[in-house]
A and B are shown apart, each in its own frame.
Chain A
Amino acid sequence: MDSLHDTIVRQLLEQNPEAQHEVDYLVRLAQKNYCDGIIEEPRLYYDSLPINQAGLETRGDPDVFINGEAFPVRLTHLVMAARVLDQNGAVIDERFVQRVGLRLTFHDQNYMNRLFTPLPLWADVPIAAGDLVGRSVAAWRFGRPPILSARDTLQVTVALERVPAGNATRDVTVSFTGIGLLSKRPYFFSATVTLANAVATVLDTARFRPDGTEPVALTDMTVHCSALSTANDPNGDVREVRVQVRQVGNGTNATWFQGPITINPLPQAPAQLVGLRSGRSIVHKFPGDGLIWEPGEGITMAMQQLDPAITSGNIDVCIGLAGYLSVT
């Protein structure tokens, strides 16, 4: 009689129609990893680059886009968007990302070109959600689902980008969707906090703890930021919030989102960068299976203002490399 592991592997190899269904595939993959003792965790390396207005290159923090862990990371996507505030604290017209160019350098090879490529030309993943929620939500379907073990939880930290005016507040919600590895039932974990200032706040960890009966494969993560409580228009803006996640218990216990900690520390990632599946960021999928980062390897990011008239103000662009870490 086959073991559970053998059964799963055989089903994967047979590529039966059921296994080809995306979520089902992810769950089977998680089960296989669970049996093999492989830990896979999402990773997002992010930075915020103030674009130089004199047309000079802007380079990010050298500590950010580097694999500082002892395990390989596979990068699958690049994601970028305008921050909500520019370098002078004014709200950015997000269309001005059209006038910024980007170049990646990895072992002296440039991508996508040695010239700076305008950010919209990097977009190749349609990510527009419905018009009613598209501005306020960012969602990520994990390429490799992390396992939330029976006694684990998630530490989710959120912070607003700026203090709401007057007595207004914003509600910030972070949700995870998962599937039980044994029962195959869906799990929904979610917590909301009302924020009146820009202080980082940890969401209630009890909300992200499974009921203890089985491990859960997490398939999706969603961040929502509501409108100001005093606004007539209920359209939220996910750019107003930053988010950080860490698994407590099993897993690596490292933060999933890794950003600058030295020059201009940004301990939480701009939430729009989570929008790899739906949201309002430019999402680029690396060709093929993506890029492997061995420990210590890194990428150099450089951006440049492409508009000679410099009408786009002192724009800040946040940028992230997303993928997953494999501990074998």
Chain B
Amino acid sequence: MGLIYEPRSFWSILSVTPPAQGGDPAGLVATFDREHFRNGTRHPIVLKRFALAAIGYALRGNDNAAAPNALNYRNSAAIINECFLHISVPGRQEYSRERLRLSTWTPLPTGEPPGPPGTAFSGPWGVCVMDFDHPLVLPQNGNLELDFTGVIVPGAVFNPGDQIQPALSIAVKEQGGLFAGDSRIVVRQLIQATRGQTPFDPEGAVPPFDAFGVDPNPPSFANGIQGIWAPQTRFSARAFNQQNPNRGGAASLLGVRAHIDQIDWDTTFVANLGGANLLAPLSMKMGTRIRTVDSGTKMWWWRPGAPMCLVFDKMTPAQVYELPLPITLGPGDTIELELQIPDGALVGSPPAFVRPVTNIGVSFNGFAAIEG
């Protein structure tokens, strides 16, 4: 009897609306839902890295030349530079005495290279990569099932009829064959896009389609949307099995990659919005869920809906920190995370006190060791 390993992540998103000027400064500190990080399974889970990203933003940087106002003042994914985090295991251990600035958790090199100079596009490749810490061994009839959500289209930026349709491709890498590997793939499936109400979600009221900033517990059926897991962006167990190159035995899976073609989205966004705003990759808005089927634990590897950039942590726009030594969460254990958001500032003319809404996601990534 040996161990089998399955990837696992614990994730949460904290959406904080800061207090108004003169409000309680304690409102600048908030705690992530502790239950989102609780190991509710029977297996020990080893966490090796954590990922940090501002989730749900349409922009990753704002136009400095534009006059600051409540809408554009630091309302982008770059707000992560202004936040602080404290990690502890309740009743046992604190990992620091102070809250640390997020960007000072030493980032691993996980990014894409820069695009051409002067461009505001989200990136040259639009790819996210997850490598498993241990090969995931599936028996002959075992399969994977992968789901991805759609995205919210910022309604005030895009016009009806704009050609912006992003497309998703997925590859699951496995061992075997002359090349010592191959991949099972889904190519260029259109991502379901739903119009939102404001230019830069998660500000204001947006349909809880990708759930970030409004409802951290997808799926939601508000606004007539029939669930968040669109069929066209599903890599079903049936399709996965059809591409099995090894009918005679077990498969050893090594990782998952996802590519989002948002070239048209970026091009139209830049043309319609103007200015020097920098666009965010859609992987910072799209949710995922993955599990084994007909083998393994059949449990979702993380609470469904995790932003792709947080759990696909080898190549990602998120900031990834590798723990010097892994944290092992036994059954029932949890982690406590405390987030400090930035204070506001007087901006505009006449000056108005503005505090940016902050939407930060955190995930702890590793694997479960399961006695088979």
Contact = CB atoms under 8 A, between A and B. Distances in A.
A112 interface: yes
A310 interface: no
B19 interface: no
Nearest to A104: B179
Contact of B113 (A116, A280, A290): A280
A22 interface: no
A126 interface: yes
Given A118-B259, A121-B185, A128 B111 contact: yes
B113 A279 contact: yes
Contact-residue bracket for chain A: 35 or more
Contact of A101 (B111, B121, B129, B187): B187
B175 A128 contact: no
Contacts of B261: 98-99, 118
A201 B118 CA distance: 31
Contact of A126 (B126, B175, B314): B314
Interface string B87-117: 0000000000000000000001111111111
B178 A107 contact: yes
Interface in B141-186: 169-171, 173, 175, 177-185
A38 to B, nearest CB: 24
B257 interface: yes
Given A123-B125, A126-B315, A280-B124, A111 B115 contact: no
A95 B187 contact: no
Contacts of B230: none
Nearest to B320: A126
B264 to A, nearest CB: 8
Nearest to B125: A120
B312 to A, nearest CB: 11
B182 A111 contact: yes
A97 interface: yes
Interface centre among B126, B170, B184, B261 (most CB of A within 10 A): B261
A112 B315 contact: no
B263 interface: yes
B180 A288 contact: yes
A71 interface: no
Q: Nearest 10 A-B pairs (CB), nearest first?
A: A287-B181, A112-B183, A120-B127, A287-B180, A280-B113, A120-B259, A120-B125, A111-B179, A121-B171, A288-B180
28 contacts: A95-B124, A98-B261, A99-B263, A106-B179, A109-B177, A110-B182, A112-B183, A113-B171, A113-B243, A117-B169, A121-B169, A121-B171, A121-B183, A121-B258, A121-B259, A124-B129, A124-B315, A128-B111, A128-B113, A134-B113, A233-B118, A286-B180, A287-B173, A288-B180, A290-B180, A291-B180, A306-B188, A311-B264
Interface of B: 108-118, 121, 124-127, 129, 131, 169-171, 173, 175, 177-185, 187-188, 243, 254-255, 257-259, 261, 263-264, 314-315
